Amino acid sequence: MRNQIWEYIKQNANVFSGISVCAVFFFIVFWAYYQESKLKNELVVVSGRITDIKELSGLYGGGDANVHYSFTVNNIKYNGKHSSNPLIYLNRDTLIWKYFPVVYQKRNPENCSLLISPRDFRKYGIKYPDSLEWLKTKCFPPESRYR
Check residue 33 and give its pLDDT: 73
Tell me: the pLDDT tens digits for 48-80?
999 998 877 665 555 678 899 999 999 999 999
How long, in residues, is the chain? 147
Q: How far apart are CA 122 and CA 126, in angstroms?
A: 6
Tell me: the pLDDT tens digits for 97-106?
999 999 999 9
Q: Which amino acid is at 115?
A: L
pTM of the model: 0.74
Cβ-Cβ contacts under 8 Å for 145 (sequence gap 6 or more): 119
CB atoms within 10 A of CB 113: 22
